[in-house]
Structure 1
C-alpha cells in the first residue's frame, strides 16, 4: 500500500510512549481508537505488514490522518481508550454500552438517611451501590436490609426543630417494629447512623462486621437484663445468618475477591464479573463486546476488566481471571487459578457467561434467524480453519451387516440446517464383502462424478463419518476428480469426536459445548439415521422376498401382490386358502401354499 507523504511524516514522528491513537478518514471521521504500550511501534505495524483480515485491510486503506494522546502508563491508556470508544463509537471498534439504565441502591445524603432503589444518579453527595443487572437481586438485598436494620422509609425532612416540636407522628412501620420512629425522637441520630453503616457494609458484602455489631448489642441487652430488646436483636441476627447461608455458594475462606471470565466466539466476547465477599456472590454482571478487528482473548479480557471495574468500583485486591489480560490494573493482584476454591469461583463465573450467551443467542435465533445462521457459519469457518464459510455441508456414512446389503447415505446441511429434499442414498454395486473404505470410495465417486458432469452445486465441506482410513479413501477420490482444494474434507471419529484433516496426523478436538461440533455431530447422526433406515428396508425386503423366490409360476409381480395384500410371509402363511385364491388365483395360490409347506 502506497502511503501519503502526510502519513509517512506522522509515522516517523510518533512518540515511543504509552498512549491512545485515533485513525481518521479523509472526512475527519474517527474510524478506530486503540491503545498501545509503544505508540510508534503499534501504529506503524498497521502500515508495514500485510493483513489477513479483510476488515483490517479496509480500515488501513481508509486512514488519512492519525492523532495520538500520550499517557503515563499502559493501564491509563486502556482507561482512556475505554472512555473515548464510548464517547465516539467508532465504526471499527468493539461496541461498549455504558449501562446507565440499570438500577442502583442509594443511601441519601440527609439527616437520618433513607436507603432506596433508583435509576437516576444525582451528584448531590449521596452514595450509590450497583448498578444491578438483576432487579430481583437488588430487591432481595433491600428486603434483607429492611429485616435486619430499623431504617425509615418515609420522605419527611427530619428537621430537628420539627422533631422537637412534635410535628411528626410515628407511622405503621414503627408499630410493626421496622422503624424506631426517629421522627418522634425515639431514636437518636448516632444509633440510626450505626444501622446505616451496617447496611452500607452489607451492600459491600461485609457481613462479618455487621454480625459482630449485632451480636455485641444482643449481649449488652442481655447483660442489662433487657431481654425483650435482646430477643429483638437476636431475631435480626438470625435473619442475617439465614441470608448469609442462602447467598454463600463458595468457600468463605476466599474472603474479598473479584472474578472475571471470558467466553469468546467469532463475533462476540462475553466478560462476566462476580463480586464475592466471604463466599457469597453479592454482584454479577456480564458485558457483551462485539468484535471488530479479530481481537485476541487477552485484549477482550483487558478491556472488559477495565470497563467493569470502572462501572462497579471494588476494594478487592485479589482478581481471579479465566484468561491473562493484556494489561493488568494497578494495585491489584491478578491470578489465573488452576485448581481449588479459586478455580471453582472462576468456573462459576464461566457458567454465568455461558448462560448469558445462550440467552442472547436464543433471542437472536428467534428474532433474526438469518443473523444466527451467519454467526454459526463464521464460527465454523474459524474453528475448522476453512478458507470459506461451510454454507453447504454433505456428510457420508456407510451401513452393512457382514458385507450384506451395503448402502451409503449422503445428507445435506445448508446454513447449518438439514435440507432433507437433497438427501441421497447409494446401493453399493461394485463392493463385495465388508469393505468400508471401498464402499466410501464408490459413493463419493458416484456422487461427485455426477455433480461435475451435470454442473450441480458442490459443497464447501464434505464430512466423512470415520477416522483416518475412511478419510484416506475420500482423499483418493477427490484427487482423481480434481476436487482437492475446491472442497474441504474432514473425518469425524465417534469415540472421542476427533476431527481428522487430510495430511495432518494430529486430530482436532473441539469443546464439547462448541456449536461447530454440534452441527457436525448433527450431520453425522443424521447420515447414520438415514443410512441405517435404508439398509434395514433393503435387508427386510430381501428376507421377506427370499421365501417366495423360485416358486414355479410365481413371478415378481405376484410376489409384490402377495406382500401388499398380506404384509409379510407370516401373513401369507396365516391366510385362508380362499383369501389367497382371491388375491392371485387358484393355481398360483396352490403353488404358494405348497412352497410354504401348507399344501
Structure 2
C-alpha cells in the first residue's frame, strides 16, 4: 500500500512572475481550499512578492505562508475599489488570518415607516420594513432617548399596525400627550404629515433648519391672530432647543466619531465615541478577532474599513493613532458616501480630549473583557474535569421548551463557545403536531429537526447516504460536519447568516430530568451520532439555584453545589436557553392574540373591519351581537353577517336560523 503523496509546496516566486502591477485583491488558500488571508494591493506584483522575499517576517505570517497551497487574484480599476472588494470578501469568507470585526448584535436604528400614518420605532436586523432608517446608534439607550424626544415633541404613533387598525378609542399614550391618536381620527392627515416631516428633519441632524421653519410658522400664526397655535409652536421651539444639549467642537455642532484601540497581547478593544448634530450618543466597545495579530494600527485600520463599509460614516473620524492606508480609506469612504469624509489623527484641543477619553474607556473595557474571559475559561475547565473531557468544550448547546398550558410551544437552542454566548447561532423551533403540553414529544421534535440537518449536511459533503438514513453511526460520529444556514427559526424570527448548523456540539445540555434526556438519547441513537456528550440539568427538590442535579453520560447523577464553577457555567447556559425560549413563546402567543379573528374571514377588508369594530365598540361587542344586528352595519349583507357570526362562535356552518338575541345561548 503506497503512502499518500504530500501536496507540493506553493512556489510564490514563480506565481509572482505572472502578476501585473495593476491594483487588485489577492487571496491565499490552503490545500483544502479554505481561505487563509485576503489582502488588497495598489500594485499586485509588488505586494505579493513581498511575502516571498528574504525580508524577516513575524511568526504569524510565517505560519500562514507555510499553509498556502495556491493563490488567486482579482484585478480592479483603482486601489479604492480593491479596498471595497477586500472588505466584502473578508466579511463573506472570514479568512483565518485576517482581523475580523465581530459583533453579536445588529446595530440599532430608528425606523420611520412609509405608510399613510407612519409610525416611529426602534429597529434591529434586516431592513425589510419599508421606510427611513436613521442611525446606526451606538446603544439601545441612545435610541430610546431619541424616540422619547420624538414622542414628546411630535406625538407620533409607535403602535403596531394590528393595534392601530383596530382601535376604537385613544390609548394611554394619547392621554399623557405622547401620541396625537391618528387611529381614531383625532388629528388631520396634513397635520400628522407635517409632524412626520419635522421629526425627519430632527433625525437627519437638521435641527437649525427645523427651528427656523417653526419660527416662521409661529410668526405667521401670530400675524393671523391664531395665538393658540403660535404659543404651541413657541413651546415646541423652546423644547427642541432645551432638550438638544449640544456639544461644539471649534465652534461647530459636533458630527464626528472618535476611535481608540487598546491591546493586550493578541486581544483588542476598539472603542467608538459618537457625536451627531451636537448630541453625544455615547460609547460602544468592540472586540475584533485579531487571529494572532498584535499590531494595534493593523487592527484599527481593519476596523475602520470594515465598520464603515456597512455604516454611513460621519464627516469626520478621529483616531488615536495613524493607520496604514489612511488616505486610501478616506478616499473610498468619501466616494461611497458621496460626501467628503476626513480621517484624522494627532489632533489638538477639544478633539484631543475626546481621544484621551476614548483611550481610557477602551483600556477599561479591555480589562473588564479579559477578567470576564478568565472567569469563563476557569468555569469551562472545571466542566471539562467534571465530564472527563480531554479538552475544554469548544461548542456547548442547550435546549429548553416553553409553553403556557400547551399553547404556542417553542423550543430554544442556545450556543456557547469558549468565550461565552454566540447569539448569532441561536435558534428557535415552533413545535406543532404534538399533544398540547407533551414536553417529551416537543423535545424529541426539536432535537430531531436540529440534528437531522447536521447529519444531512454531512451526507451531502461525504456522499454517504447511510448517514442521512440513520445507518453507519461511526461515520456520522467522527465526520467533520460543514457549515450550513438553517431553515429553522432564528432569533427574533430572522435567519442568521452563516450559522454552522452542520457542526455537532461537544456538549449537549438538556433542561430537564431523565425523561427529556431519554428523548435526546433516542434522537442521537436514531441518527447515529455518538460523539456528543449528553448532560441533563434537573432542578433539585427545593428548586433553588445551586441544587441542580446533573445527569451524566455514564449514568451517574451528581450535585456539584452552588460553589462549583462547572455548575455556574451550566446554570448560565441553561438560564440563557430558558430566557430565549420564554421570549419566543411570548412573542408567538402574543402574535396570535393580537391578530383579529376578523382578518381570517373572506370578504372582510380594513374598511369593513373598522366599521364593525366602531359600530360595536370592539370585538367583545361584536361577538355579543346577533346575525341581524351585524347585518345592519354599513357594507355587511346577510350572508357575510352569518359568516362573521359563525367564525366568532366556532360554528362549522353559517348560522341561518340563529335568532337575534344579542348573545348565543348554550342551552
Please classify the TM superposition score into its range, dividing by the shorter chain length.
0.5 to 0.7
Per the normalisation by structure 2, the TM-score is 0.49
State the Cα distance separating 1:257 from its structure 2 match.
Answer: 2.8
> Which deviations, in whole Å up to 9, do the C-alpha atoms of 1:386-406 show, x marking residues without a partner?
xxxxxxxxxxxxxxxxxxxxx
Equivalent residue in structure 2 for 1:338, among 347, 360, 363: 347
Aligned mates of 1:365, 1:122 — CA distance in 2 = 37
Q: Contact 2:261/2:359 (CA < 8 Å) preserved in 1? A: yes
1:141-185 superposed Cα distances (whole Å, 9 cap, x missing partner)? 1111111112123344899xx99xxx9654444444333333455
Give the conservation status (yes or no) of the 8 Å contact 1:93–1:292.
yes
Structure 1: which 5+ runs fail to align? 372-599
Equivalents in 1 of 2:12, 2:227: separation in Å?
A: 81
Aligned to 1:329: 330
The 8 Å contact of residues 170 and 183 in structure 2, kept in 1 or not, is answered as yes
Alignment match, 1:301: 300
Provide the TM-score with structure 1 as the length reference.
Answer: 0.54
Distance (whole Å) between structure 2 residues aligned to residue 41 and residue 243 of structure 1: 55
Comparing 23-32 and 323-332, the one that deviates more: 323-332
Summarize deviations over 1:256-298 as a string: whole Å, max 9, x none: 3333333333213333333323432236433322323536444
1:29-40 equivalences in 2 (<5 Å) = 29-40=34-45
214 and 284 in structure 1: CA distance in 2 versus 1, 3 angstrom threshold: farther
Alpha-carbon distance between aligned partners in 2 of 1:294 and 1:370, rounded to the nearest angstrom: 27
> Structure 2 residue aligned with 1:19, among 7, 15, 24?
24
Where does residue 270 of structure 2 map in the other structure?
271
Q: Which has the higher contact order (CA 8 A, sep 6+)?
A: 2
Q: How does 1:242-253 map to 2 (within 5 A)?
A: 242-245=242-245, 248=247, 253=252
- CA spacing shift, 1:177–1:231, aligned 2, 3 Å: farther
Contact 1:253 1:278 in 2 (8 A): no
Distance 2:10 2:236 in 1: 74
**Contact 1:112-1:158 at 8 Å conserved across structures:** no
Do the aligned partners of residues 155 and 25 (structure 1) sit closer, same or farther apart at CA in structure 2, a change above 3 Å counting? closer
- In the aligned structure 1, how far is the partner of 2:232 from the partner of 2:90? 53
* Inter-partner Cα distance in structure 2 for 1:283 and 1:181: 32
Deviation of 1:47 after TM superposition, in Å, equals: 1.6
Q: Distance in 1 between matches of 2:248 and 2:365?
A: 19
Whether contact under 8 Å (1:21, 1:33) holds in the other structure is: yes
Note the 1:188-587 alignment, pairs <5 A: 188-245=188-245, 248=247, 253-282=252-281, 284-292=283-291, 294=293, 296-314=295-313, 316-327=314-325, 328-330=329-331, 331=334, 332-368=341-377
Give the C-alpha shift of residue 27 in structure 1: 1.8
Moved more, 299-308 or 28-37: 299-308
- 1:420-439: CA deviations, max 9, x gaps? xxxxxxxxxxxxxxxxxxxx
1:28 alignment counterpart: 33
CA distance in 1, matches of 2:204, 2:282: 9
Q: 1:73 to 1:5 in 2, by over 3 A?
A: same
Distance 1:204-1:349 versus aligned 2 partners, 3 A rule: farther
Structure 1, 291-300 or 139-148: larger mean CA deviation: 291-300
In 1: Cα distance, 2:374 partner to 2:215 partner? 53
Q: 1:190 to 1:251 in 2, by over 3 A?
A: farther
The answer to whether the Cα contact below 8 Å between 2:29 and 2:37 also exists between their aligned partners in 1 is yes
> Partners of 2:76 and 2:254 in 1: how far apart?
34
> What's the counterpart of residue 101 of structure 2?
96
Q: After superposition, what is the alpha-carbon deviation per residue over 1:24-56, rounded to whole angstroms, capped at 9, x for unaligned? A: 112212111222222212222112125442222
Measured in 2, the distance between the counterparts of 1:5 and 1:154 equals: 61
Give the RMSD, CA atoms, in angstroms: 3.4
Figure out how many residues of one structure are paired with residues of the other and give that number.
364
Task: Say if 2:58 is the partner of 1:53.
Answer: yes
Partner Cα distance (1:226, 1:147) in 2: 23
1:70 equivalent to 2:79? Answer no
Q: Does 1:121 align with 2:122?
A: no
Contact 1:252 1:278 survives alignment (8 Å): no
Distance across 2 between alignment mates of 1:229 and 1:75: 53
Structure 1 CA distance for aligned equivalents of residues 67 and 253 of structure 2: 50
Q: Hey, what's the Cα distance between the residues in 1 that align with 2:21 and 2:277? A: 44
Q: Could you tell me how far apart the structure 2 residues matched to 1:285 and 1:79 are?
A: 24
Q: Give the whole-Å Cα distance in 2 for the aligned partners of 1:252 and 1:286.
A: 28
Q: 2: CA distance between counterparts of 1:285 and 1:66?
A: 37
Q: Report the equivalent of 1:9.
A: 14
* Alpha-carbon separation, structure 1, partners of 2:357 and 2:237: 29
- Deviations, residues 363-387 of structure 1 (Å, cap 9, x unaligned): 224323699xxxxxxxxxxxxxxxx
3-state SS of 2:330 partner = coil
Corresponding residue of 2:568: none
Residue 13 of structure 1 deviates from its aligned partner by 1.0
Structure 1 CA distance for aligned equivalents of residues 70 and 174 of structure 2? 67
Distance 2:104 2:379 in 1: 28
Return the offset for 1:68: 1.1
Call closer, same or farther: CA 1:97–1:290 in 2, change over 3 Å: closer
Kept after mapping to 2: 8 A contact 1:271/1:287: yes
Q: Following the alignment from structure 1 to structure 2, what is the Cα–Cα distance between the partners of residues 273 and 363?
A: 21
For 1:145 and 1:301, locate their aligned partners in 2 and report how far apart those are by CA, in whole Å.
35
Q: Distance in 2 between matches of 1:308 and 1:206?
A: 25
